[in-house]
Structure 1
C-alpha cells in the first residue's frame, strides 16, 4: 500500500550558510527511495534540492545601487545633483568589487559578496586612492543602504544576505573625523567680509551675502529664492530649498529682520523682480541639464575672508580638510542669537534644523508663539556696517 513519508535534509544557501529543508511524500517505499536518491544527487551537483529552473541567480549589486538611486530621486529624497553623485559612487564601488572578487569588468556582481570583509576592502581601496573622508563615508553608506533596501524585497532581489542590525551597522561605515571645538565668527567679521568682496564680484553675490548675514540661510537656499517667496509687507520669506528631504518638505516661512528690509541696495534689488528667481543670472541657479551641478561662489567668499582681516580660525576651522567660507555667515547668525539668549528651538526654526519629538514638530508648524519669538529674535540683528560708511 501507500504511506506518507517526511524527508528532511540540510543544504547550503547561496550566502554560504546552512538551512534545513523538509518535504512530505505520499507513495510507496520505492517512490520514497527514488526521491531520496534524487535529493542526494541534487545536493551533490547543485548544492540544493531545488530543480535548476527554480534556482534564481543572486541579485546584481550594481543594478541594485543604480535602481535604488533612481527610485530615491523619483521619490524626492535625492535631488538630480545628488542622484548624479551617487551614480558615480556606485560605479566606483562596482570597480572595487570587480577587482576584489576578481570578476571580469562586464561580469555580474552577485549580492552574495556583501559582507563585513568586503566593506573593509572597499574602504581600504578608497583610502589608497586618496579619496576624501566624507566621500568615502557616502560611498559605503550607499552600499549599505542598497543592501538594506534589497533585503526588504526578497521577491525582487534574490540571495541577499541579512544586513547588519543595531550597533553592528556602524562597523560597516567609515569612521567620521572628530573635530575639536570651533569658534564662530562675529557679525563684525561677517560685515568686514562683505566689505572685502573683490571688486569684480557681481551685485547679485553682494545682495546674496547680505541676505545670508541677516537670515542665517545656506548659500544654496538664498540663491534659490524667488520673488514669490517674499512678502515685504509682512516681512516674511518662504524657504523652498533645503539640505535634506525633511527640510525641503518643510517649506517653512520665516520672519525677516527689519534691518534687512531697510538696506537700500536690498530694497532696490527686490524692486527689480516681480516674479521668478531673484538671482537669475548666476550660473549656479541655471540648470542646463537634468543633472547639472549647482555652483556656489565659495572661492569669492574665501578671497573676501582672507582680505577682511578676520582671524582665520573663525571661517576656516583648524583640522578640517574642506573649509566652508560661505557657511561662516550661518555660524555667525546662530552665535549672535545664542549670545542674545534666544531659545534653541527658535534658532532651529530660523536656520532649518529639524526639531525632535512630536511636541517640537507641532510647535514648529502650528505654534504662533514660536513665530513671534522668531520675529523678535531677528529684530535683534544690528544693521549692516557697510550701509553706515
Structure 2
C-alpha cells in the first residue's frame, strides 16, 4: 500500500479544507470548539450541509448514492473533518443500518430508506442490548409475534444512544424460541412514533443524557419492515457489528485530541516549567503517538481491503480494541494534565449546572474521562473482541 499522497489526493485535501472553510456553520464550529453541547437541530443542520455537498455517502457503494472514493480519499476526508473539530456523523443510519438494508433488504426498503438516510431526513437509533442481554446478545427476550400482516412487539431495549432524538430504530426481536438462542431472531425497522414506543432517559456518570431505555408495549409494525428473512436477524446483526466496531476506533478524533492535549500542556506550568517539557508526560505522549500511528495504518489497510470488495472481518475487532484503549489512555492523560482542577463536581447528576471553581476546560476533561469508561464495553466488549480475533485469525 502506497502511503504517500498523490497530487490528486492533495488536491482533494485542499477541496475538503475549502469546503469546511466556506460551508462549516460558524455557530456550530464555535460551540464545538468551546465544548458546548449541540442541539438536535444543529446536529441535523450539519448533516444536511454535508448531504447537500454529496459527501454523506463517503463509505457507500456508488449505486446507492456513494461517493466512489478510494481508501485514501476516505481517510483524508474523515481526518480533515476531525482535525477541524466537526461533529461526528450519527452512525446508526449512515454506517450501521444502511449496509444491512442495501445488502439484505427488499428493493422497496432500499428505495425508501436509503435516500432518506443519505439526506439525513431520518435520525436512526439502535435497539440491540437489553438489561440481561449485552455481550450475550443472542439471549435477547424482546418478543415480536406475527399477527396477520403485522408484528406485535413487546419488551425493552437499553443503552439506546440518542434515542430521545430518533425518528426510527432498528430492533432485534425474538420471533421464535424453539431452537438455539441464535436462531429465531428477526431484524425489524420501527418508526419511533408508533403507539406503544416510549423512551426513558438514563443519566450517565458524567451527568449527561446520552443513552436511554426504549420500551415496546404492543407495538404494531408492518411485516414488510422486516429486513431479509424472519429468523435470520442474528446473521444481519453480526454483519452490522463489524461495521460498528470499525467506526468506534475513531482514529481521526484521537489525532485531534492528542494534538489539543499537547497544546494545552504548553500552558500548564509546574515549578516554572510547562508540562509539555516534563519527561514523564512526553514519554506518555510519545507512546500514544506511536500506537495511534499504528492504528491509523491498520485503518488504512482496512479501507484498502474494503475498496477491493472485502468486507470488514477480524480487523474491525482489532480496531475496536486498540482504538478504545487509546481513547481511554488519552482521556486519562488529559485528566492527569488537568490535575486538581478537574476534581470538583456538584449535584447528584454531575457538574453541568453547578458553580465550581475549576476551569471549564478541566471540567470538560473530567466529563470526557468519565464518559469514555464505556467505550471498551459497547459494540461488544473488548474481551469478546479478543475471542473473535482468536477464532478468526488463530483458529482457536
TM range (shorter): under 0.3
What TM-score does the superposition give when structure 2 sets the normalisation length? 0.26
What TM-score does the superposition give when structure 1 sets the normalisation length? 0.26
Larger Rg: 1
Higher strand share: 2
Higher RCO (C-alpha 8 Å, min separation 6): 1
